[in-house]
Structure 1
Amino acid sequence: MEKRFSTLELEINERVATITLNRPDRLNAIDSVLIGEIGEVLQALEEDTSVRAIVLAGAGRAFSAGFDLKESAEKNYTTTAQWKAVLRKDFDFIMSFWRCRKPVIAAVHGHCLAGALEVAVACDITIADSTAIFAEPEVKFGSAVVSLILPWIIGPKFAKGLLLTGDDITAQRAYDYGLVNEVVDAGEHLARATKIARAIASAAPGSVQLTKSYVNRSMDIAGFTSALEAALDGAIILESTQGPERIEFNRIRKADGLKAAIEWRNNQK
């Protein structure tokens, strides 16, 4: 695929495609442009018979800080219809990794927060280096989790511990929870993810894709997709009503900037 992108880089080598989120100045925050470019790339890679596995990584200091709060604040969504449209788009972005016919391996370092954590969990395999930090801080400022995959992967107890506190956890704790498959030394996440991707690429592609699809199908039989859709409906209601915490977060952001608002959020006791 010969095309330059503004928010990501794509490299294909030895039947493995590596997608690198490339907004390092924004900690690879996920904006509408990135969502569009990822959609285009994943569709092309699914159709490319020379590609058998995909690695997803982040440039700079982090995998990703999650959805771009600055962009959403500038859009100033207020109505239920507006929130429904944007959250559906965010939800489908996250789930595109789950639904991709070809296996996707997330290579995580640094911060992996909120929507980015959901992306990492939606990938088939997740490798984290020792610098990785995971969190779903939405409850701290009255927001909602877009795609509630976490309970299905790590169980309701561990999921509630993360989701109800908004606290962050280390790579080792994420491994203990079953959120990641392996923890490697700092800086080794991409090499390890690529090695796994090449092992997958050496297997029979039809068998690999069928196996992935039926593992996912077993989750659907248990109610996976229906539960996520129900949680999305709840997220739309929460975002469109905006409680006092979200109002205060937005007030501080407008008055003093996003950094001050995030500091306020993180200091809530």
Structure 2
Amino acid sequence: MDRIAPETTQYEHLLYEVDAEHVCWLTLNRPEKINAINERLVAELRAGLIRADQDDNVNVVVIRGAGRGFCSGHDLDEDTADDRSSIYEYRLKYIRQFEEFTTPWTLSKPVIASVHGYAIAKGFELSLFCDVSIVTSDTRMGYSQVRYGLSGHCMFMPWLVNMKTAKDILLTGRELSAQEAKEMGLVTEVVSPEELHEATRRKATLMARMPREMQRMHKMYLNRVYEMQGLKSATDYYLEQMAIMGAQPVPEYVELMMMTARKGLRTALDNAQARYKGLD
């Protein structure tokens, strides 16, 4: 992955850099966790996006991941400290995180996801509500966490594919190849791993040279089309369901967390995946 010189004074898990073409590169920087999303990273990503949106020297934002993958999803280690004693408080936590995590969608400037390796669960969702996603051919994508009793978070996916496809993805939890995701409309472009940086740079530069206010107007309009069709009502409904399941988790999730605490996450995931062996 091409290295850039980051500003490190404000962020622990995020790198922020603006290049000469007015492209802001935001790099998720928890490579030891394959950039798993914790509360600190969500807050820093939102702060970086808002900073770029307010910077007159930025026309386009790119989100990418350091290390072996774009994002492996939610950081399950953080779940062990969750207070689930109040459904109401848990609901408010989910709503706050939803507002933070969907910042790429609400940002006025175009946002590109530059994806490699892994885009699982929250990593998958992060790529979906970016405006454009460029993905390497070897990337593993999808909602595999539902097999372990974990719900999605920002359920934009049904708005990007037809209903049969949405049900196939969510009701099986199967992983998608990058090419399959492109054919479904979940990915803009698929490239080889070696081409990712250059393909992203070219797309970002092209978009950055477009009239800025024209870009903002059209992004707002296109987002509004989805919202008028019911996207906001649908995602609000999903959040309510998810808050209940989060406070009263299904047995498979309880088992996963108990085994994670005793034997580690890798062993717990292997155990949970065993029931699906030979069915994909």
In structure 2, distance between residues paired with 1:86 and 1:265: 27
Q: Which residue of structure 2 aligns with residue 155 of structure 1? A: 162
1:49-99: CA deviations, max 9, x gaps? 110000110011000001111112233534313421332233123311111
SS of residue in 2 equivalent to 1:56? strand
Q: Which amino acid aligns with 1:251?
A: M
Farther-moved stretch of structure 1 (99-108 vs 129-138): 129-138
Asked if residue 10 in structure 1 is aligned to residue 16 in structure 2, the reply is yes
Farther-moved stretch of structure 1 (201-210 vs 75-84): 75-84
SS of residue in 2 equivalent to 1:18? strand
1:13-69: CA deviations, max 9, x gaps? 111001010100000001111111112111111111110000110011000001111
Q: Give the conservation status (yes or no) of the 8 Å contact 2:7–2:15.
A: no
SS of residue in 1 equivalent to 2:57? coil
Q: Which amino acid aligns with 1:231?
A: Y
1:106-152: CA deviations, max 9, x gaps? 01100100011111000000000112110202321222111110010
In structure 2, distance between residues paired with 1:229 and 1:61: 33
In structure 2, distance between residues paired with 1:233 and 1:10: 34
**Paired positions, count:** 269
Q: Which residue of structure 2 aligns with residue 184 of structure 1? A: 191
Deviation at 1:250, TM superposition (A): 1.4
What TM-score, normalized by structure 2, do the two folds share? Answer: 0.92
Deviation at 1:2, TM superposition (A): 5.3
Unaligned runs of 5+ in 1: none
Q: Which residue of structure 1 aligns with residue 151 of structure 2? A: 144
SS of residue in 2 equivalent to 1:233? helix
Q: Which residue of structure 1 aligns with residue 3 of structure 2? A: none
Unaligned runs of 5+ in 2: 1-5
Match of 1:235 among 237, 242, 246: 242
Match of 2:100 among 75, 87, 93: 93
Cα RMSD of the aligned pairs, angstroms, is 1.5
Alignment identity in percent? 30
What TM-score, normalized by structure 1, do the two folds share? Answer: 0.95
Deviation at 1:3, TM superposition (A): 4.8
In structure 1, distance between residues paired with 2:252 and 2:7: 45
In structure 1, distance between residues paired with 2:264 and 2:78: 13
Q: Which residue of structure 2 aligns with residue 84 of structure 1? A: 91
Farther-moved stretch of structure 1 (118-127 vs 147-156): 147-156
